[in-house]
Amino acid sequence: MIAVEGVVKRFGAQAVLNGVSLTVAPGEVVTILGSSGSGKSTLIRCINGLERLDGGRITVDGLDVANPRQLAQARRLSATVFQLFNLYPHMTVLRNVTLAPEVVLKRPGAEVEAEARALLASVGLADRADAYPAQLSGGQRQRVGICRALAMNPRYLLLDEVTSALDPEMTAEVLAILGRLVSAGTTMVFVTHEVEFARRISTRIVFLDHGRLIVDLPTDQFFADAGGMAHPRIKQFLSKMTPVGGQS
């Protein structure tokens, strides 16, 4: 389980996360919604141990991310795909996917390569294994990013606006892959603006507003009643969202 307890993160005088608590149990898909600047990416970075906490605690399967030795172990349990495709530009698609399992997990090259090719095939990129990132479209790059995360066989997959830089067609491609991962039981923490998609795949929806987690509800309840809509901030947020074309 990922457990976020009373987390405070400040940048200068600004409390970007202000007492955030959240749990994600195996098998859950938890979507984090919230306006730009509400702290979503910061929360993901804190779970990864990329930011020093100013208060509270985060554990991944009991491992405290504030403790460097435990963080190293925790990082093997979760993998993150970011908004911008952080692929290594000087490495082929295949190498981008095989690097961490070989170097970090020290697994045998042949085995890792076979798995990487299967992953790439599963996202329709079997024939792009030897291409370089610059030769791919944005949607293809993001699919490679997802393969790279999955190659670590993570228990938790963290996704930070993986479709926000993509056009609608590429967004649909990437969402289709995420939908399949959810069907396969992958545990996810999903930061997105694709509200309709989130509604279909999430176990729970949480809403961040100015660094505070103001709502944490099962998906149906979030959209159905009180939960979401009674909150003026959430109502305002949802009213600005456009449904995903052809997805619902």
Ligand X SMILES: Nc1ncnc2c1ncn2[C@@H]1O[C@H](COP(=O)(O)OP(=O)(O)OP(=O)(O)O)[C@@H](O)[C@H]1O
CB-wise, 16 or 136, nearer to ligand X? 16
CB-wise, 53 or 123, nearer to ligand X? 53
Residue 238 tokens, joined: 């949802």
Taking the complex as a whole, the smallest distance from the CB of residue 98 to ligand X amounts, in Å, to 30
Residues 26-55 that bind Mg ion (CB under 5 A): 40-41
Taking the complex as a whole, the smallest distance from the CB of residue 17 to ligand X amounts, in Å, to 8
Strands of the chain, DSSP E: 2-11, 14-24, 29-33, 55-60, 63-64, 78-81, 156-160, 187-191, 204-209, 212-218
Report DSSP state, residue 135. Answer: G
Taking the complex as a whole, the smallest distance from the CB of residue 208 to ligand X amounts, in Å, to 7
Contact 32, 191 (CB under 8 A): yes
Taking the complex as a whole, the smallest distance from the CB of residue 25 to ligand X amounts, in Å, to 23
Taking the complex as a whole, the smallest distance from the CB of residue 50 to Mg ion amounts, in Å, to 13
Question: From ligand X, Mg ion, none, which one binds at residue 75 (CB under 5 to 8 Å depending on kind)?
Answer: none
Strands of 34-110, DSSP E: 55-60, 63-64, 78-81
Contact 156, 78 (CB under 8 A): yes
Question: From Mg ion, ligand X, none, which one binds at residue 62 (CB under 5 to 8 Å depending on kind)?
Answer: none
CB-wise, 34 or 49, nearer to Mg ion? 34
Rounded Cα distance between 213 and 185, Å, is: 26
CB-wise, 92 or 202, nearer to ligand X? 202
Question: From ligand X, Mg ion, none, which one binds at residue 192 (CB under 5 to 8 Å depending on kind)?
Answer: none
CB-wise, 152 or 166, nearer to ligand X? 166
What single letter denotes the amino acid at residue 205? I
Strands of 25-155, DSSP E: 29-33, 55-60, 63-64, 78-81
Report DSSP state, residue 91. Answer: S
Taking the complex as a whole, the smallest distance from the CB of residue 15 to ligand X amounts, in Å, to 9
Return phi, psi of residue 203, to 5°.
Answer: -75, -45
Question: From Mg ion, ligand X, none, which one binds at residue 48 (CB under 5 to 8 Å depending on kind)?
Answer: none
Note the residues at the interface with ligand X (CB under 6 A).
Answer: 11, 16, 34, 36-42
Taking the complex as a whole, the smallest distance from the CB of residue 83 to ligand X amounts, in Å, to 7
Question: From ligand X, Mg ion, none, which one binds at residue 239 (CB under 5 to 8 Å depending on kind)?
Answer: none
CB-wise, 53 or 136, nearer to ligand X? 53
Distances (CA, A) of 247 to 138, 157, 186, 198: 20, 22, 21, 11
CB-wise, 51 or 115, nearer to ligand X? 51
3-state secondary structure of 45: helix
Residues 131-160 that bind Mg ion (CB under 5 A): none
Residues that bind Mg ion (CB under 5 A): 40-41
